[in-house]
Each structure stands twice: as C-alpha cells, then as structure tokens.
Structure 1
Amino acid sequence: MSKNLFLKFIFVAASVFSANQAKAEPYISIKTNQPCSACHVNPSGGGMRTSYGNVYGYMELPAESSDANNFDFAKVSEFIQFGGNLRYDFDASKDDATDKTASGFGVESAQIYTLIKAGRDDLLLYLDQQVSPGTALSREALLIKKFDNGDYLKVGKMMPSLGLRIEDDGAFIRQVTGFNFDNSDNGIEYGLTSGSSFYNFFITNGTSSVTNDDNKFQFGARAEYFLGDFRIGGAAVINQGDEVDKKILALFAGYHWNNFTIMGEIDTVNNQNNGTANGNGEDITELIGLIELNYETSKGHNIKVTTEYHDPDDDFKEDHRIRNSVVYEYTPYSNIQLRFGYREREAPPQFPEQNLERIFVQTHFYF
C-alpha cells in the first residue's frame, strides 16, 4: 500500500462521515463524551476503574446488564480498594520469512490494582502491579492529589499519555513513540481542567528506568478539547539524551455519531543524533498514523476496524509499514469480554519477517 493510497483512505473515511453529517478504550470516552478520569482512578486513563467506571462496566457495556449493587465488590473499606485485568489469548501467526505458522495459548497481560485513601478522598496512593507475563513488575506507583476545581498532581512512577491511549500496545502509535503500557517512567505530572478543555504537563527522567544517570529529562504537554460529539487534541514531547534528542508531535481527534465512533491520530517523531553514536549528527523523522472505526451493532457487540501507517524515515521512499486489524468484541455480561481478531502487517520486500498475519481469540476478565 502506497503513501498516496493511505492518504486516500483517510480522505474517504472522512468523506463518508461528512456525507452522513456525523456529529479506557478511548472510543468509550468519546462515545460517552466523558474524560478518562470519569471511568479511571488514574486521571490519565487506564488501570483501576472508578465507581462510575464499574457501573458502566456492569450496566452499559455488557449485552445483559448485571446487578449494580455488586459493582464495588472489590472495595474492602472506605480506604482500600482492589481491581484487576486479565487478558488470556490463543493466537496463530505466520510471517513471509519462514512461511510457518506458530500458535499457542498465553497470558497477554494480567494486572492487580490497589487504591489506598489516606483518610480523605483527595489524597490517593495508587499501585498498578503487573503479575504476568514474566516476572512481577510495578507499572505505576503514584501519589495523587486531587483539587476541588478538577485539577490534580501526580508524583511517582507513571505512564504518561501522548495521544490516544488505546489498549493495543502493538499499535504503531504506541510502540514507535514509546508511550505504551510497557514503558513506565519516574516523574511528576500536573493536570488542569478549564471548562470543556483538559491540559496536563509532565517532567520525567526520560530513560524509562528507576533512576536518572544524567541531567537530561523528558518534558511533555498535552491538551484535549471536548466539543460535544467531537473531540480534538494535541501533544508535544521533548526527550533529551546523550546520543539522541527525540521530539514528538501528536494530533488526535474523535467523533461519535449514532452507533459509530471514529478516531484518529497522526504523530511525527524527530530523532536528532548528537554525533556521539555515529559521528554524523543525522536527523531521522518518522511519521505514524492510525484510524479506528468502532461500530456497536447492538448492546454488548462492537466491531473495531483499524488501519495504521509507519514511515521510519521520511527521506526514503517505499520503506513504510501498514498494519490492518478487524476485531469483534462481545461482552455477554459484566466482568467478561471475548475478542476475536485478525491482523496483518505489510512491510517492504526487503523485510519479509515483518510481513505478518495473525488471528487471535482473547478472554478479557476485568473488575
């Protein structure tokens, strides 16, 4: 698929919705016209759910509504609450290099969340602990201070947000930018709310490690505007390093109309070599794009169609990658979601191992 064809796809998708006057998972946030903080304890989204998020998961998301009286069953007391996620897969994949199919069962991810209130609702200790796959890993360990006007302050180990915080960590906008659920960092973040807009600013080590071994940091700013059924936002990040300085710009948007929710993101990543690695001071700019369409056929049934684009160096032609996905999500009742998906990735002919087809079935348990 050429760059022109990808751009044509964007144009056609936008035209279809315009013709019909179209007025975390981010698509649920867009669909409900709510910020991520409405459903998640972490104001940036993801992880443990709030009481509203639990009620939504019990009453609105599944095909068969559950008893809302049980939505906070993991709440031990007014001061301690637990939550969790488990994604268990069967998948089969084949690449062009080996032309062999590999298949099997495995835990894609499993987390336990802990929330401790320090005797008050505006001061929280929040822990996000990965228990599988691999060894146990602390993804987030945060002290969260919430203010009366909706602002917040986070201090600790965190996963800062860039654009759309989609669940699929394999997406180009998540992997290439480095802003994904496998990439925690230590720092501080401040978020503020002003009418129908939301802003957050963060400073982190920028090394994705426990400590910082130099005097260079990562600086980021993000803004999001809620305009009824339409949402638009942008972000900028500067990540300083001894060998490479990385600058990221992101633009994202979403729109909900009837049973359709469409969202997209475009990122540019500029890697400026300081000359210490290869001595040539070469700059490389990457372009990443995503368009996702969600169609809720009926309550508890959602079809997700996604196309992605990654150009690893805009100075070279025909070196881009394309990734397409079709996923059917079925939530029969609360706490359980089944996902059936097909993904294909297309790469230049010189990289046959990157041409990949994958089918998967996933069981998602959440509370």
Structure 2
Amino acid sequence: MNKLFQAFCILFIIGLISESYSIPRFALRMGGKCIDCHVNPSGGALRNTGGWKFGKNNLAMMSSNNENFKMSNMIGENISYGLDLRGQFLVRTSDSTTQSDFQRMAASVYTGLDLSEEISLLVRYDFIQRVYEGYAVARILPNDGYIKGGTFSPNFGIKMDDHTAYTRAGDFGLLFATGGRQGLIFTPDYVESGVEAGIFISEFAFLTASVGNPRRELFATDPSYTASLQLTPSIGENVNLMLGGSFSNFKDKNFTTGGYNNVNMYAGFLGFGVSGISLLGEYVTAKDYVVAESVTTALMVEASYRIIKGLEFVARYDRFDPSDKLTKDELSRIILGFEIFPYSFIEIRPQYRIQMENPDVTNNSVVIQTHIYY
C-alpha cells in the first residue's frame, strides 16, 4: 500500500506542474444541458459543433489554435464524425502479491447525418466492445421535443462516463470482482432496440420515456420500460442545480431457475454546481435484481474542484449492497484522482481506489486511464 501511495503522490506532483469534460458534471457547473454539446438529446456519444469546439478550445491547458492548420468535425455541411479511444493501466494489491496490467477499454467511432433541420441520424460502433448503436432523432414534438427510434442506451439516472460506479456497472469483472454482481445493468455494451420520446417541459425540465428490447432474441420477454425526469434550475447567475428521478422495469435472467425476474428500479439524483466546484449524488434501489424477493441498493457521491484550466481534482464515494436480506455483502470505496487535459482532445485520469468494506484486507488499487476524443 505504501508503494501505491507513493506512486499516486508522484502523479499528483506531475499534475500540478502540467475544465473537466465529464457528463453531466460539466453541464451542471456551466448551467447547460446535455443537448448543448451532444447530438443525442439525452447526452453522450457524438459531440455537436458546439461540444467539439468546447473540447478543443476550452478544456485543455494548451489548445491547437494554429490558424494554418484547419480542423473540423464536419464533412460538408450536414455530416459530422467523432471518436472516443480509452485505455488504462491497472495496479492491484493483495496480501501476497502486487499485479499490474494494461487494458483496452473502448474504440468508438461516430457518424452523424442531418437529413433536414428536424431529422438526424447517428451511428456508433465500438471495435473493442463490439457494440452498435444506430438511431434516428426526429425533432417534431412541441418545444423542440423529439422521437428517437433505433438501438440506443436508455436514459436512466446520471450518465457517468465512468462505468465502474456502482450506480452504472461496477467493476465489470475487473480488479477485485468476486464473480457476483457489483453494479447495475448499465455496462458499456448495454443498449436497447426501441423508441424514446423526449419533451422539454420548460427551460429547466426535461422528461424522457422509452420502451425497448435489450436482447438479441425476439419474443423472449416483455420489453423494458424506462422514464426519467431531470430539472436543472439556476439560482442567480452562478449557482446551478440538478435534481430528478428515473424508473426502469426490465426482465433480468435468473440463472438459478432459468427464468426471468421482474425488476423494478428507481433512482433519485441531485447536483450542485458553482464556479469551479460541483457535487453530484445518486441513490438507486432495485427489487428482485441480485436476489429474488430482496432489494439491491447503490449509492454514488462525487465532488470535483477545478484547480486550474486543464486540471481537476475528483473524489468519489461508491457503495453497493446486493441484498437487504444478506449481511456483510456490502461493497464500498473511495476514489481519489485527477482529470488532466494537457492538450486538445487528450485526457489523462490517475486514480487511487481505496476499498473500505474490510480494512484488514489489502486490496487497494491504482488506475491510470488515457482518453483521446474528437
């Protein structure tokens, strides 16, 4: 543990001598919405022109502003493109060993096509996760509301770009995964084929509802249903708030009986942003998810502080209780780290992860993630 702590201190010093882009923390801090930077109205994936320019010019310590080198995320006037490349270096310790390894995480490419002012198409393919998304967005409802149809990730809770949060997918089989579930269903490859409707009730109220099939098999189960309401009011010119809730009903495979559990999942979330500080929190309950006739809970609290342009400190607390009927099965941890943007479209995330459920067990870890986006 001492060696890991020393290594993290070195990373901290490097960071100090060298605005974070994270959904939805940045939008909260600036008082914006997901649609301000993304083609997808509920956030994530392909960046629109405003989001691309912001990522190029406003996030990094040094930006590529050479007038003789022209850059754009557009082909012509109605075709856009983008990418996200992620990899990471992992170090984990146990009572007897220290192990390290490299992981390829994501290699997503995006293409967007505007067929008219009201209708857009978006396609994503991840060559590592082998995930396909493709859908049309028709902005034909009142007040810029839309209907989306195709294959996409449903809008539930806070869409963290770090899927290891227990409110998303947890460790997903990495680091100290025990073989049992250590997070919710929202893995990097989770998509549904269906329809979503979104309505902007007012300038600060956004409601979505979707129905879809998360499986390749047809007629295996009833479809999944998801709904979310997000409010983003502001107090004065500098204080921004976010609060809301989500609901999902889906059929989850029961490997003991061979059938499917009917899972009802509820989330409540809130956030606070002012100047260079933001605070996010989310609490999720799921009935009949891990153990039948029991309740699973997940909690995430994240605080961030912008030190200088291109350098941000982030601390997060995660907790996961697979079943309220079992004892000593809870997982909890604290994650301390930095998000460093040394140059346009490049992000480096060093993190130190402290497992808390059993202090007598040596199982902390270091994660250094690199992210290239466009």
What TM-score bracket applies, with the shorter chain setting the length? 0.7 to 0.9
Q: Measure the CA separation in 2 of the matches of 1:179 and 1:364.
A: 20
What runs of 5+ residues in structure 2 fail to find an aligned partner?
1-21, 170-182, 235-239, 253-258
1:173 to partner: Cα distance: 0.2
Relative to the length of structure 2, the TM-score reads 0.81
Alpha-carbon separation, structure 1, partners of 2:80 and 2:48: 10
Q: Which amino acid aligns with 1:157?
A: T
Paired position in structure 1 for 2:126: 130
Determine if the alignment matches structure 1 residue 110 to structure 2 residue 107.
Answer: yes
Tell me the equivalent position of 1:42: 40
Contact 1:301/1:331 (8 A) holds in 2: yes
TM-superposed CA distance for 1:215, in Å, is 4.8
- Structure 1 unmatched runs, 5+: 1-23, 274-280
User: Which string of whole-angstrom CA distances, capped at 9 and with x for unpartnered residues, describes residues 34-74 of structure 1?
Assistant: 11111111112111101111121122211234439878623
For the residue of structure 1 that corresponds to 2:75, the secondary structure is coil
Instruction: Report deviation, 1:155.
Output: 0.7
CA RMSD of aligned residues (A): 2.3
Contact 2:63/2:343 (<8 A) preserved: yes
Q: 1:328 aligns with which of 326, 333, 338?
A: 338
* 2:269–2:282 contact (8 Å) kept in structure 1: yes
Structure 1 counterpart of 2:191: 184
Name the CA distance, whole Å, in 1 between partners of 2:338 and 2:111.
30
- Tell me, yes or no, if structure 1 residue 258 matches structure 2 residue 275: yes
Deviation string 1:117-166 (CA, Å, 9 cap, x unpaired) is 22x13211111110125xx331x111111236221111111111211111
Q: Is the 8 A contact 1:58 1:68 kept in 2?
A: no
Worse-matched range after superposition: 124-133 or 301-310: 124-133
C-alpha displacement at 1:91, in angstroms?
1.8
Q: 1:295 offset after TM fit, Å? A: 0.5
Identity, % of aligned positions: 24
- Comparing 75-84 with 286-295, greater Cα deviation is found at 75-84
SS at match of 1:37: helix
1:266 to partner: Cα distance: 0.4
Contact 2:155 2:227 in 1 (8 A): no
Q: Which has the higher contact order (CA 8 A, sep 6+)?
A: 2
- Cα pair 2:333 2:356 within 8 Å, conserved: yes
- Native 8 Å contact 1:305 1:327 kept in 2: yes
**1:5-34: per-residue Cα shift (whole Å, max 9, x none)?**
xxxxxxxxxxxxxxxxxxx52111111111
Partner Cα separation in structure 1 for residue 158 and residue 310 of structure 2: 23
Q: For the Cα contact (< 8 Å) 2:29–2:275, is it kept in 1?
A: no
Corresponding residue for residue 208 of structure 2: 200
Query: Which whole-Å CA distance do the structure 2 matches of 1:348 and 1:184 have between them?
Result: 34
State the partner residue of 2:151: 157
1:224 pairs, out of 219, 222, 230, with 230
Q: 2:367 — aligned with what? A: 360
* 1:58 partner SS: helix
CA deviation vs aligned residue, 1:91-124 (integer Å, no higher than 9, x gap): 211245xx32221223221110011222x13211
Tell me the secondary structure at the aligned position of residue 179 of structure 1: coil
How many residues align structurally?
326
The yes-or-no answer on 1:214 pairing with 2:220 is yes
CA distance in 2, matches of 1:240, 1:342: 35
